[in-house]
Amino acid sequence: MESVEEAAGIRAPRRARYIRTILLELERIHSHLLWLGIAGHIIGFDTVLMQSWRMREPVMWAAEKITGNRKTYGQNLIGGVRRDIEKELIPELFPMLDTLEQQWKKVLDAIAGDTTLKARLEGVGILPADKARDLCVVGPTVRGSDIPIDSRVDHPYAAYDELVPRVITFTGCDNWARVLVRMHETFESIRLIREGLKNLPDGPILTQVEETPPPGREGMIVVEAPRGEAIHYVITGSDYRPYRWRVRAPTYQQLQALPSMIQHATVADVPITLGSMDPCFSCTERLEVIDVKTHKVKVYSNEEILNISRRKYGRG
């Protein structure tokens, strides 16, 4: 959205930018909570899966109350946001954040002394800082290797120029450091939401877009998604459609670091090392079909993929 706004030279009103920030941080909280659960599940510690997902549920409800849906918020529009955070809702959100913060502190306190957990995580999946820099790793993975990269601070968008997050880094370079980064980032997000809600400015939530941007304008935005930076690049086209829209999701870069992280590791450590960068394979999928017998490689064109999926849906 913001890349289109940049291309069109629009700036969303301040209130809208605050609402965006609050939602982005809610998103980060629930993503990190979900991730801790999954990481626990991978190493066979299902208690943490159950507990962190239980704590996550009120966050999802809060998002549902604000936007009308748990996950597909559908909140951003070019020039602002669709739904306002209503006045009556704000007092409900603070107790939710307080409870979450208390519970999360307890979890951190409990797992920090858990030697079983540390045996599985500490010193496993080492990614030294220079290697991480060479491979252009992003997000919590690189912050666990003591490199303070965070596009919320480096290239502020939404209201991050006013609500400045503290960049959390740990020096361990291992899976445990990445756990700690995410756990502490959750506290940071809770703080940002609180501050955002307290200082929520008045005003409109949507600017009227007077004219559509002419074709050929470019816009690019870097957004710190919970997994790392996501880049959106847009070239405007005619007929209200983009000419080109390229998304670079963070997992693809992260995966480049995997071979060096799992070097000399035991097989049992591979899943958690992969899990420690919170991979999203649907963001990374590139399709190439190789016939095993003839070793022929076939690359499908856009048209062919469309036709296959249409046939599958019984249309066309």
Partner 1 sequence: MFRSKIKEAIICLEAGRVTLAYPFAPAFIPKGFRGLPSVDINRCVGCGGCASVCPSSLVEIVDEPDRTTITRYFERCIYCGRCADVCPEMAIEMTERFETATNDIRDLHVVHHIYMATCSRCGRCFSSQTPLDPPDYRSFKGTRLNRLGVEST
Confirm or reject binding of residue 207 to partner 1 (CB under 8 A).
no
What's the CA dihedral at 248, 14, 161, 244 to 10 degrees? 20
* Residue of 44, 68, 95, 201 interacting with partner 1 (CB under 8 A): 68
Smallest separation, CB 196 to partner 1 (Å):
20
Task: Check residue 146 and give left, alpha or beta (phi > 0: left; psi -120 to 50: alpha).
Answer: left
Largest CA distance in the chain: 65
* Residue of 9, 91, 113, 316 interacting with partner 1 (CB under 8 A): 113
Confirm or reject binding of residue 83 to partner 1 (CB under 8 A).
yes
Smallest separation, CB 68 to partner 1 (Å):
4
**Using CB under 8 A, which of the segments 25-33, 42-50, 227-235, 259-267 binds partner 1?**
42-50
* Residue of 9, 87, 91, 109 interacting with partner 1 (CB under 8 A): 109
String marking each residue 142-181 x if it binds partner 1 according to CB under 8 A: ----------------------------------------
Q: What is the CA radius of gyration of the chain?
A: 21
Eight-state DSSP code of residue 148: -
> Of how many residues is the chain composed?
316
Eight-state DSSP code of residue 212: P
Instruction: List, in sequence order, every beta strand (DSSP E) within the chain.
Output: 76-77, 80-81, 218-225, 228-236, 242-248, 289-290, 297-298
**Pairwise CA distance, residues 145 & 1, whole Å:** 31
At 265, list the tokens. Answer: 């590791």
* Residue of 74, 95, 215, 216 interacting with partner 1 (CB under 8 A): 74
Angle formed by the axes of helices 46-67 and 90-112, to 10°?
Answer: 170
Confirm or reject binding of residue 98 to partner 1 (CB under 8 A).
no
* Residue of 90, 110, 136, 164 interacting with partner 1 (CB under 8 A): 110
Residue closer to partner 1, measured from CB, 198 or 315: 315
> Which residues of the chain form contacts with partner 1 (CB under 8 A)?
47-48, 50-51, 54, 57, 61, 64-65, 68-69, 72, 74, 82-83, 103, 106-107, 109-116, 313-314
